[in-house]
Amino acid sequence: MRKDIRSQPAPFETVLVANRGEIALRIMRACRELGARTVGIYSDADAAAPHVRFADEARRVGPAAASESYLRVDAIVDAALESGAQAVHPGYGFLSEGAELAEACARAGIVFVGPTPATLRALGDKLAARRLATEVGVPIVPGSLEPLAWRDMDTQLLEEEAQRVGWPQLIKAAAGGGGRGMRRIDGPAELRDALVGAAREAEAAFGDGAVYLERYVEGARHVEVQLLGDNSGRVVALGERDCSIQRRHQKLVEEAPAPGLSAAQRSQLHRLAVTLAESVGLRNAATAEFLFSSAGETWFLEVNARLQVEHGVTELVLDLDLVVEQLRIAAGEPLSESVLAAAALAASPPRHAIEVRLSAEDPANDFAPRPGRISRWREPSGSDVRVDSGVEEGSAVPPDYDPLLAKLMVTGADRPAALAAMARVLGELEVAGVQTTLPFHRWLVEQPSFAAGDGLSTEFVANFWRPAELMPDAARRAAELAARAYAAGAGRPTQTQPISRDGAAAGWWRVGVEEAAGGHRP
C-alpha cells in the first residue's frame, strides 16, 4: 500500500461505516491508518462481530433483519449525528447504491463517501444507464430501453418484444444487480412465468419490481473497469478486472488485469468507461461493467456507483488504497498524485492479482447458503497474500445476510505466479464448523482451462463444475446435518474433532465438514 498514507491530515476526524463484516473492517482499517476515528453499526445478529469490537465506537441500529437495521436510513443518520461523525462510508451492498442515504446525509450536514445523489439516481436505474450509454456512443447489449409493463401487456406483445431482443435472453431488475431479479429464458413458453418471478424477486430485494429484457451473450467474458472521479470533473480508469467465474450471475473469482486483452482492447475498454463516467459527472468511485463476446464484440452492461467487493485486486496491482482515495475525494480534494500515477500504470499493469470469495455456501448444492458457527479459522499468510476477512474462530454466520466470510487475494509477477500463490493459499487455509466454497476454489485452480485463461466465460462453472462426481455422499450429509442443527437453534461452539487438511477418507471436500458431522447438535 501507499507509503505516504499519513503524509497529510485525515480528511475527517470521525467516519461512520454503514456496513458489516469484512468490508466494514477494511474501511475501518483505512480510516485508522489515516488517523480518523471510526464508528461501527450493528444489528442484534452482529453484536459480537469482529467489526463491532474493532470500531472505536459502535451503535446498535436494530434487530437481525436487514430491513430493520442495516437498511434503516434514519437509524444510520441518527447514529452518525449522535457519534459526531462528519462522514458516512456505505461500503458495498445495503444502502451503497441508492440515493436515499446520500440524500439523508446531505440534509443532516454529513458527507456521504460516494457519488452524488444525482449520479446514484442516474446510474442506479440500469435502464437509465443503458439509455445514457446509447446517447454517448457506448455500445450496449441488445435489449429493452424501457421497463416492461408486463402486467398490462398481452402475450403477443410480450413475445414480439422478446423476439426483437433475440434468444436466449435475460430478464433483469432495473433497480439493482447481484443476480437478484434475474432469469434466463430460452423461448416464448417461459416468458410470462419468468417475468412474474423476476419482478417479485426484484420487488423484494430492491423495493422496485421494474424489469427489462436483455440478450444473453453466450460464451462471453465479464470484464469491468475501476473508475475514480473528483469534483473538478476529472475521471480516470484504474485498470480492469475479469469477473467471468460466476454462479447464478454472482461472482466467485476476480483478477486484474483481465487475461489475454491486447493493448488496443484495454485502451478501448478504459476509454468507453471514462466516457460514461464523465457523462454523469462521476465523483468518487464507480465500476463500469462490460461483456466481451467470443466474436470480439464489447458490450456495456451497467455502472456500479460504489466500491466493489473485488476492489482489492486493483489495489494490489497498482499499489493504491481506494478507500483512502474515496475519503479524500469526499473531502473535496482532487485526484491525488498516487491515483494519477496508478492510472498511467493501468495501461500496462506491472503485476497480476487474483481474488477468490470464500463464502459459507455449499458448492455441491448450487452454492446454497450454509449458516452456522465457525469452530476453526486459520488464515494463510505470506508476502504475496492479503486476506480481507470478517470472521474469526467462534464467529456465527447468521442466515440474515450475504454469507461472504473472507476474500483471499494473492499477487505475482504474472498470472502463472499468481495462480501458484493462490494454490498455496487455498492449501493453507483451515476452516471448520460450516460448509464453505473452499472445495470449489481448490478444484478451480487445478483446471487446465482456467490456468490457460482460454476457457474464461460466465458459463465456465455451469459447463465444468460437476460436484456430484467430486463430493462423497457422506460429506454432503454431514454438511446438511450441520446446517439443520444451526437452523434449529444450536449455533454455538462445541467440542471440536480433529481436522484433516487433506481429508484422506473423503477427499479434499471434507475440509470444513468433519466438525460439522459431529460438532453441532440440537
Which positions are catalytic? 306
By CB neighbour count within 10 A (0-12 exposed, 13-18 middle, 19+ buried), where does 518 fall? Answer: middle
Burial bucket for residue 204 (CB in 10 Å: 0-12, 13-18, 19+): exposed
**What distance in Å separates the CA atoms of residue 194 and residue 171, rounded to the nearest whole number?**
8
Cis peptide before 257 (omega within 30 of 0): yes
Q: Using DSSP, state whether 120 is helix, strand or coil.
A: helix
Q: Which of 427, 323, 322, 331 is nearest to 382 (CA)?
A: 427
Please tell me the number of Cα atoms within 13 Å of 142 on its side-chain side.
15
Contact 202, 170 (CB under 8 A): no
| The three three-digit cell numbers of residue 65, written as one number | 433483519
Residues 6+ apart with CB under 8 A from 148: 158, 161, 195, 210, 211, 212, 213
Q: Give bridge partners of residue 111 from the DSSP assignment.
A: 87
Residue 504: CB atoms within 10 A of its CB come to: 9
Q: How many Cα atoms within 13 Å fall on the side-chain side of residue 428?
A: 14
Q: Which residues contact 273 (CB under 8 A, 6 or more apart)?
A: 225, 227, 237, 288, 290
CA angle 110, 118, 309 (to 5 degrees): 75
